[in-house]
Amino acid sequence: MNLIAADGEVWRKHRRVMGPAFNGKLYDLVWKETLDTYREMVSAEGWLGKSSVEIPAVQRLTFKPPRASNGRFTIQEALQIVTERNLLLSVLPKWARLRIPFFGMRRTMEAFDLMTEFMHSQVQERKREIHTKGEEDLESDVFTMLVRANEDEGSKLKLEDDELVSYALDFIDQKFKPHADIKIGNVWSLLFAGHETTAHTLAATIGHLAVHEVIQADVHKHIIDVIGDDPQPSPESYSKLEKVLAVFYEALRLYPAGHILIREASEDTVLDIPKPHGQEGNITIPVEKGVQVSLNFFRVGQSSNLYLPLKVIVDMVGVQYNPRYFDEPEKFKPSRWCGVPAESEIFSAFSIGARACLGRKFAIVESICFLTMLLRDYKVEPLLLPNETRDQWAKRVLDAKLVITLGIKDVPVRLVSRK
């Protein structure tokens, strides 16, 4: 069980353990870490002193987690392999995983081992700190909170070892028969929830700014107005950078990383939903307790008034492209977010209500900081193929790609130094 998968009382327990870690102190830390990460990236990529650099896929940068290595490959590579491969692994019995000579299976298993070792070493380090440091000297980052809850013998909020760092995703047993052994501790679930989603959205933001020169110039001016050439802008700048937030929100609306949400009716109920945009009246759908609910409709025939509910999922792409809420929904128009209050439900890509994304502000602070620094220092241009126009680039690149989360295809760009 983990926070994302749990329901009812178990969910409440996990949320009570993790919720307090998502506070102002954490967001200041996220801001500072992101500044350091940005600087490290510029230096490690060898961009210093160059007037421009070409990046065949900007995802190569936005997907990079912290550096660490076991000599075979880095945590960066391991995490990428793990996120790409965990579904493939789940449909192979354990014994077959090391024996199957193709699909880079050995490398995949090594990546899992490295990630697991890394997680356990982090846990051990946090445990040492918990036992040796005083209360006031302990960090209040999410990882520390989770390990403390794991150490909290006798407490109602104790997290079991399984709930901390375990990982098993097996849908096939040793004899190739279907079964379900799923254990994804909170640390893994946070990694999956936070890493790919943010990385995809950053890539989509950069891709759209590359072809929307006027919008990019306006955002750049705004950044200069707010932080000037300060090499270490303070976390307080965050709340003033609303145009950077608007481009991030708009990219996330176009590519909602959490593209499906599963909901189960906890009691018999009736959904009363407006007909598609431009049509009068509502559709009423009875939903029985236990049914998994969809807000997506399938119209029977061209003109009939019969709608069949597809009772499977909440279709987040449908919500974000609904012309009832967004004019010209296919267009990249960040200005639609200007002046929208933070608590408005119109921005729903992190979901809304009790089960909304716990990492929303984490993701936003991190992304605003990264985009602000990148766009202040570099102009982003599309990296065109020979004889390709910008419009052709946009048609080729600005399209969706689905792995576990929804994202954008590889975004090739040129960064031109503004210094």
Query: What minimum distance in Å lies between the beta carbon of 75 and ligand HEM?
Result: 17
Residue of the chain from 59, 197, 216, 294 that contacts ligand HEM (CB under 6 A): 197
Q: Which stretch binds ligand HEM (CB under 6 A): 94-102, 191-199, 328-336, 375-383?
A: 191-199
**What is the pairing mode between strands 260-261 and 282-287?**
unpaired
Residue of the chain from 74, 322, 351, 417 that contacts ligand HEM (CB under 6 A): 351
Instruction: Give the SS3 label for residue 264.
Output: strand
| Residue 200, both tokens | 């995809």
* Residue numbering of the annotated binding site: 357
Q: Quick check: 94 binds ligand HEM (CB under 6 A)?
A: no
Q: Which stretch binds ligand HEM (CB under 6 A): 173-181, 321-329, 359-367, 385-393?
A: 359-367
Binders of ligand HEM among residues 30 to 69 (CB under 6 A) are none
In terms of CB distance, is 357 or 373 closer to ligand HEM? 357
Q: Report residue 140 CA to chain centroid gap.
A: 22
Q: Report the alpha-carbon distance of residue 146 to residue 129 in Å, rounded.
A: 13
Residue of the chain from 108, 150, 201, 216 that contacts ligand HEM (CB under 6 A): 201
Neighbours of 237 (CB within 10 A): 17
In terms of CB distance, is 351 or 417 closer to ligand HEM? 351
- Asked if residue 294 lies in contact with residue 309, where contact means CB atoms within 8 angstroms, the answer is yes
In terms of CB distance, is 257 or 383 closer to ligand HEM? 257
Q: Quick check: 15 binds ligand HEM (CB under 6 A)?
A: yes
Match 């996120």 to its residue by tokens: 83
| Rounded (to 5) percent helix, strand, coil in the chain | 50, 15, 35
Q: Quick check: 371 binds ligand HEM (CB under 6 A)?
A: no
Q: Quick check: 4 binds ligand HEM (CB under 6 A)?
A: yes
Contacts of 92 (CB under 8 A, 6+ apart): 100, 172
Contacts of 163 (CB under 8 A, 6+ apart): 1, 2, 14, 150, 185, 186
Query: What minimum distance in Å lies between the beta carbon of 351 and ligand HEM?
Result: 4
Residue of the chain from 58, 363, 365, 368 that contacts ligand HEM (CB under 6 A): 363
Structure letter (DSSP) for residue 270: E
State the amino acid at position 264 in one-letter form: E
Q: Quick check: 190 binds ligand HEM (CB under 6 A)?
A: yes
Total residues at interface with ligand HEM (CB under 6 A): 22
Q: Report the alpha-carbon distance of residue 58 to residue 199 in Å, rounded.
A: 10
Q: Quick check: 350 binds ligand HEM (CB under 6 A)?
A: yes
Q: Quick check: 357 binds ligand HEM (CB under 6 A)?
A: yes
Q: Report the alpha-carbon distance of residue 189 to residue 50 in Å, rounded.
A: 39
Q: Quick check: 358 binds ligand HEM (CB under 6 A)?
A: yes
Q: Report the alpha-carbon distance of residue 1 to residue 5 in Å, rounded.
A: 6
Q: Quick check: 355 binds ligand HEM (CB under 6 A)?
A: yes
- Asked if residue 143 lies in contact with residue 186, where contact means CB atoms within 8 angstroms, the answer is no
State the amino acid at position 371 in one-letter form: L
State the amino acid at position 35 in one-letter form: L
Q: Quick check: 411 binds ligand HEM (CB under 6 A)?
A: no
Binders of ligand HEM among residues 215 to 274 (CB under 6 A) are 252, 257-258, 261
In terms of CB distance, is 105 or 202 closer to ligand HEM? 202
Residue of the chain from 59, 62, 80, 198 that contacts ligand HEM (CB under 6 A): 198
Q: Quick check: 159 binds ligand HEM (CB under 6 A)?
A: no
In terms of CB distance, is 17 or 123 closer to ligand HEM? 17
Strand arrangement, sheet containing 413-417: 52-55, 413-417, 378-382
In terms of CB distance, is 56 or 290 closer to ligand HEM? 290
In terms of CB distance, is 153 or 345 closer to ligand HEM? 345
| Residue 285, both tokens | 């759908």
- Asked if residue 359 lies in contact with residue 190, where contact means CB atoms within 8 angstroms, the answer is yes
As separate numbers, helices (DSSP H) first and strands (DSSP E) second, the chain gives 14, 15
Query: What minimum distance in Å lies between the beta carbon of 38 and ligand HEM?
Result: 17
CA torsion sign, 347 to 353 to 359 to 362? positive
In terms of CB distance, is 190 or 219 closer to ligand HEM? 190
Q: Residues in the site for ligand HEM, rule: CB under 6 A? A: 3-4, 15, 190, 193-194, 197-198, 201, 252, 257-258, 261, 349-351, 355, 357-359, 362-363
